[in-house]
Every structure is written in structure tokens, then in C-alpha cells.
């Protein structure tokens, strides 16, 4: 009986010290349709739904120190650099930019104590070619 009581106490203490965590994700979207397409010339779709991604994470320690994954050229520039290269007479069309913000932390009475923030930029587009 004493073993069961000790195990129950250890279990309850481990729950007390581990706590809960919360993940909250926000999403924003921009669409740049066909603004730059020259509609007076004929074109064809070469590739549909090509994507480029970029991601960085900020980690906040208990002492208020912050660590960040490096993004040297800007997140949108880095995401665009991972997309396929355009050839002659080609252009991106129907471009959309998605920005995902993910916060992780522990719950508090006033909301959330954030310990990590991840930003992810996803650019998707079609590739057209004029002929």
C-alpha cells in the first residue's frame, strides 16, 4: 500500500512540475493575381503551383535571452530564392504569399507566456511563358 501511495505522490509531483503548453497559430494571406500579366500577348502555363518557403524561429529563454535562426536576405527574398528559376519570356502569375506565425508557451491568467515564436513565409505561383 505504501508503494502505491509513493507512486501516486511521484506522479502528482511530476504533473505539477511539467505543466501545460499552448500552441497558437495565426495566418495571413496576400494574393497578387494577374496584375503583371500582359494580356495582349499569347501565353501558356509552363508550371502550376510552384512554391518557395522560408522559416525562422525565435526562442526566448528563462533569462529573457533570445536566440534566432538566421535569415540573412529577408524571409520573402529567401522564399522566392527557393522557387524555380524563370527562363526567357517567363513570368510568375497568380502569386500568393502566406505568412504563418506560431507561438508556443505556457498558459497564464492573462493569456500566454510565450517561449518560442516561429515565422514561416510560403510563396506560391504559376509560371507562364509568352510566345
Give the pLDDT of residue 106: 83
Angle at 48 between CA 47 and CA 51, to 5 degrees: 100
pLDDT at 30 over 80: yes
pTM for this prediction: 0.71
Across the range 26-40, mean pLDDT stands at: 73
Average pLDDT score, the chain: 81
Give pairs for 37-42: CB < 8 Å, separation 24+. 37/91, 37/93, 37/128, 38/130, 41/130, 42/130, 42/131
For residue range 77-86, list pLDDT tens digits in order. Answer: 888 889 999 9
User: Which CA distances in Å does 89 have to 3, 34, 85, 105, 125?
Assistant: 77, 16, 12, 48, 16
Total residues found in the chain within this entry: 131
Domain residue spans of the chain: 20-130
**Nearest C-alpha neighbor of 93 from the set 37, 29, 23, 14:** 37
HSE of 50, CA atoms in CB hemisphere, 13 A: 18
Amino acid at each position: 500500500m505504501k508503494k502505491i501511495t509513493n507512486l501516486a505522490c511521484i506522479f502528482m509531483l511530476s504533473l505539477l512540475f511539467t505543466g501545460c503548453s499552448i500552441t497558437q497559430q495565426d495566418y495571413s494571406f496576400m494574393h497578387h493575381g494577374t496584375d503583371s500579366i500582359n494580356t495582349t500577348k499569347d501565353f501558356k502555363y509552363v508550371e502550376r503551383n510552384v512554391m518557395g518557403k522560408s522559416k525562422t524561429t525565435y526562442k526566448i529563454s528563462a533569462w529573457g535571452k533570445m536566440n534566432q535562426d538566421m535569415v540573412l536576405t529577408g524571409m520573402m527574398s529567401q522564399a522566392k530564392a527557393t522557387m524555380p528559376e524563370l527562363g526567357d519570356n517567363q513570368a510568375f502569375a497568380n502569386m500568393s504569399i502566406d505568412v504563418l506565425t506560431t507561438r508556443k508557451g505556457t498558459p497564464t491568467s492573462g493569456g500566454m507566456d510565450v517561449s518560442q515564436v516561429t515565422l514561416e513565409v510560403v510563396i506560391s505561383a504559376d509560371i507562364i511563358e509568352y510566345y
